[in-house]
Amino acid sequence: MSGRVILSLAIHNHQPVGNFSQVFEMAFRQAYLPMVEALERHPHIRLAMHYSGPLLDWLEGSQREFVPRVGALVARGQVELLSGGYYEPILAIIPDADKDGQIRMMTDYLKRRFHARATGLWLAERVWEPHLAKPLAAAGVEYLIVDDTHFTAAGVREEQLTGYFVTEEQGATVKVFPSRKRLRYLIPWQSPDDVLAYLRTFLSPDHGSRIPDPVLVMGDDGEKFGLWPGTFALCWEQGWVESFFRAIEAAGEWLVTMPPGEAAAMPAAGRAYLPTASYEEMMEWSGGFWRQFLVKYPEINTMYQRMLRTSRKVHALRAGSRRRRALVDLWAGECNCPYWHGVFGGIYLPHIRRATFGHLIAADVRAEQNRRVAGTIADLDGDGAPDVELVSPAMLLAVDPDEGGGVVEWHWREEHINLTNVVSRRPEAYHRQLLEPSPDVTASGAETIHTTRVRVKEPGLHRLLVYDRYRHASLLDHFLDPRVTMEAFAGGEYQELGDFVAGSYQPAVSRSRGGVAVSLTRDGSVGGEPRLPLRVEKRLALSVRTSTLRVTYRIHNPGDARVTARFGVETAWAVTDPQARLWIDDQPAPAREARARPGAHGVRLTDWGWRGAVLLRVPAAEVWVFPLETVSNSEAGFERIMQGVVCLCLWQIALDPHHTWEAILECELGIKG
C-alpha cells in the first residue's frame, strides 16, 4: 500500500491579446486576486502558476502591487512559475524560431522579475504534436503538462497515469505529465470531500498503480475559480476553495501538495510517444486534430498564412531595435485565441481578430525594406492554387482567384486594420441547442461550461441562424433575378443566375512606375436554360502615391444572344461596432440596420478606433447594406455578434451580342469629416 498521494496542481491564468480592459479587471477581481489571497492564507498548499504574457503586461500596468505578492509566494517556495510561449501561441503551428523566441521571452521575464528559474512549460490548450519535443528541449524546457487524453490515445492505461513520462524527438527529451480529466471535472464542481475521496482511492492496493507515492496532476484554467458562470459564488462566496485547502491540510498524513517541478525530480513512470492531441473537448470541436480549424474556418487559415509570411519577413531583418519591435508585434499576433473556436468565442470575437491582424500588419510594415509597390502571384493560402498579393504604401490586398476573385485581406496599413476581417455565417453543432433546447443535467446543481443548460443573452437568437453558401469577401460578383429582395439576399434565400461568385478567375499582374494592378478574368455563364456565355473582367489597381483602390469592371457578351442581367458587386467590411454609423450618399444609418437606396453614388463607413472613414464611390447604383451577424456560444451563453457589414451595389445591364458594359469603382481610405 502506498504511504501517501501527491497532488500536483497547476493553475493557468490567461487573457488574450486585445481583450477588453474590463474583462481583465473582472478576471483579476473575481479569480486571480482571490486565489493569491487564499494561497497567502494557506502556506502549506504548494502548486504551480502560469500567467500568460498579455496578462502579465496588464498586471504590470494596472495592478503593480499584485506582482510582488506573487513574487513573495515564489520566494518562499510555495508557488512554482511555469514558462510558456509569452503570447500564448499554439506552439505546434508557429515557426520554430518563434517557438524558441516566445519561450525564451517568457523564461527571461520570470527570471528577471521573480528571480525564478522556470523549467516547466504551460502548453497552450494542451495542443501537442510529436515534433514539439525537440524545439522545447532546445528552448530549455524540462517538462510540460498535457491531458490524460493524450496518453490514453497512445494506449497507456488510466491506472498508469501517475507521475510523468519521458518522450523524445531525434534524441531530444522532455518530461510529460498527464493532467487527469477526472480531477478537472471534480474541481471545483464537486465537494472537497468528493475530491479527497477520489484521491484516497490511489492508496488502495486494488487500484493497480505500481508507482509508490503516486503523483496526480491537474492543470486547468484559473478562470474556473471565479470567472466562469456561477463560480465566483461557488468558489469564494460559498467558500469552496477555502474548504478544499483546509481539507488538504487536514489530510496531511496521506495527502501532500507538490509543484510539478519537484515531482519532475522523482523517477519517471516510463517512456511514451504521444500522438497529436489536445484535451477531449478540443478534439471534439476540431474534429479530432487541432489543425482542422484551419480547414473548417478559412478566415483562420487566412490569418495563419499571413502570420507565416510575416514571420519569414521579420526574421530576415538585420538584428537591431527595428527587428526587436517587429518580433514583439509578430509574437503578439500569434496569440492562440482567434485561431480556433469551441465553447469560447475564439474566431467569432471581432475585437480579438482585430488585435491579431493589427499586430501582424504592424510587424509586416516594420519588416518592409522599402515603400515601393509590388505584385506577387503565388500560393498564399496553402491550397496548391495561385493567389495574388498587391502592395502599396497605403494598402495590401490578398486576392483568391479561385474563390470568385475576391479580396480576402485588405490592409489599411497606416491604421493596422484588415478591412475585410469578417467571419461568414456557418452552422455550428451547438446551434441545435437553440432549436431543440435540452434540460440541464448537472447532478450537483453547480453550473459549468460543460453543462447542457441553454443560456442566452437575448431572446429570439434562433431567428439569426442564417448560413452563407460562400465566404464573404470584397469585390465578389453576383448576377441576380430582378425579383430578389435585399432581405432574401441577406438571408441566403435566393439563387445565383451566374457562376461567378465562387468561380475561378485567371489572374495577371502588371506593374508600372506609378503602381501595380491585377486583372482577373472569368469566362462563365448566366441565366437558366439555355445558359448564356458571359465574360467578367475586373482590374484592381493600386498607386504608389494615393490611398485609393481603383476597380475597373468590363462585362462582355461573347455570344449571339442578348443578355440582360442584374449585376452586383459585393464588398464586406469589418465594421463591428453595433453603434457605428455609415452613410449611403449623405443619408446616415446605424451599421446594424439594413438599408436599401436606389440611385446612390457612394457608401461611407466608420468603426471604433478608425481615424477617418472609408469611402466607396460607384456609378449610380441600387445599394444594399446590411449587418453580418452570427450566433456563437461562449462560457456565458449564446450571443449575437456583429461580424461586419455587407454592401451590394447593383446595376441592371443589357448587352447585345459582342458588346461590353464598363464601370469604375473607387475606394479611398482615411476620409475626414
Grid cell in block for residue 238: 460559498
Please check whether residue 603 is in contact with residue 584, taking contact to mean a CB–CB distance below 8 angstroms. Answer: yes
Whether 5 contacts 256, CB under 8 Å = yes
115 contact partners, CB below 8 Å, separation of at least 6: 71, 74, 75
**pLDDT tens, 149-207?**
999 999 999 889 999 999 999 999 999 999 999 999 999 999 999 999 999 999 876 65
Of the candidates 560, 477, 472, which has an alpha carbon nearest to the alpha carbon of residue 524? 477
Summarised one tens digit per residue, pLDDT across range 328-381 is 999 999 999 999 998 878 999 999 999 999 999 999 999 987 778 999 999 999
Alpha-carbon torsion angle 66, 223, 81, 19, nearest 10: -70
What is the pLDDT averaged over residues 40-60?
A: 98
Amino acid letter, 268:
A
In order, the DSSP letters of 25-90 are: HHHIIIIIHHHHHHHHH-TT--EEEEE-HHHHHHHHHH-TTHHHHHHHHHHTTSEEEPB--TT-B-
pLDDT > 80? residue 476: yes
Handedness of CA 25, 29, 34, 37 (dihedral sign): positive
The pLDDT assigned to 209 comes to: 52
What's the mean pLDDT in 122-134? 97
Does the structure show a pLDDT above 60 at 441?
Answer: no
Question: Are both 5-283 and 447-671 of the same fold?
Answer: no
Residue 124 C-alpha cell reads as 497552450
Distance between alpha carbon 342 and the CA centroid of its chain, in Å? Answer: 10
The yes-or-no verdict on residue 557 having pLDDT over 90 is: yes
Kindly report which listed range (9-13, 366-370, 506-510, 586-590) carries the lowest average pLDDT score. Answer: 366-370
pLDDT reported for residue 445: 46
Q: Are 54 and 15 in contact (CB under 8 A)?
A: yes
Q: What is the pLDDT of residue 436?
A: 80
Distances in whole angstroms, Cα of residue 51 to Cα of each of 14, 575, 632: 6, 32, 27
Q: Which amino acid is at 114?
A: F
Helices (H), 508-558: none
Give the H/E segment covering residue 663: strand 660-671
Q: What is the mean pLDDT of residues 235-241?
A: 98
The architecture (CATH level 2) of 447-671 comes to Distorted Sandwich (2.70)
All cell numbers assigned to 440: 440541464
Prior bond of 530 cis (ω within 30°): yes
d(CA 530, CA 563): 12
Q: How many other β-carbons are positioned within 10 Å of the β-carbon of residue 672?
A: 6
- Identify the pLDDT of residue 481: 93
Report the run of H or E that residue 199 belongs to, with start and end: helix 192-200
Q: At CB < 8 A and 24+ separation, what contacts does 576-579 make?
A: 576/350, 576/351, 576/354, 576/607, 576/608, 576/642, 576/643, 576/644, 577/607, 577/608, 577/642, 578/627, 578/642
Measure the CA–CA gap between 128 and 146, rounded to whole angstroms.
8
Contact between residue 480 and residue 541 where contact means Cβ atoms under 8 Å apart: no
* C-beta separation of 627 from 579 below 8 A: no
- Lowest mean pLDDT across 51-55, 452-456, 485-489, 607-611: 452-456
pLDDT at 388 over 90: yes
Position 1 pLDDT exceeds 70? no
Sign of CA dihedral 92, 97, 100, 104: negative
Query: CA–CA separation, 285 vs 342, rounded Å?
Result: 6
CATH class of 5-283: alpha beta
Nearest to 147 by CA among 121, 110, 112, 176: 176
User: Between 298-315 and 321-332, two packed helices, what is the crossing angle to 10 degrees?
Assistant: 160
Residue 449 scores a pLDDT above 70: no
Beta partners for 616? 603, 667
Catalytic residue among 80, 88, 125, 364: 125
The pTM score is 0.94
Residue whose C-alpha cell is 496526480: 216
What pLDDT sits at residue 212? 77
Specify whether 383 is catalytic.
Answer: no
What phi and psi, each to the nearest 5 degrees, are found at residue 358?
A: -60, -45
Q: Any idea how long the chain is?
A: 673
Q: In this model, does residue 509 exceed pLDDT 90?
A: yes
Helix and strand counts by DSSP (H, E) for the chain: 19, 27
Active site residue 329: no
- Whether residue 442 is predicted with pLDDT greater than 60 in this model: the reply is no
User: For 512-530, what is the mean pLDDT?
Assistant: 93
Residue 2 is placed in which grid cell? 502506498
Domain ranges for the chain: 5-283, 447-671
- DSSP character for 660? E
Q: How far apart are CA 305 and CA 302, in angstroms?
A: 5
CB 440 within 8 Å of CB 451: yes
The pLDDT of residue 242 is 98
- Determine the pLDDT at residue 443: 37
Q: Active site residue: 221, 368, 383, 639, which one?
A: 221
Find cell 473537448 and name the residue.
Answer: 281
Spatial distance between the Cα atoms of 317 and 308, rounded to a whole number of angstroms:
15
Q: How many CB atoms lie within 10 A of CB 241?
A: 24
CA 251 to chain centre: 42
Question: With pLDDT > 70 as the criterion, what percentage of the chain qualifies?
Answer: 96
Alpha helices by DSSP H, listed for 333-429, are: 350-367
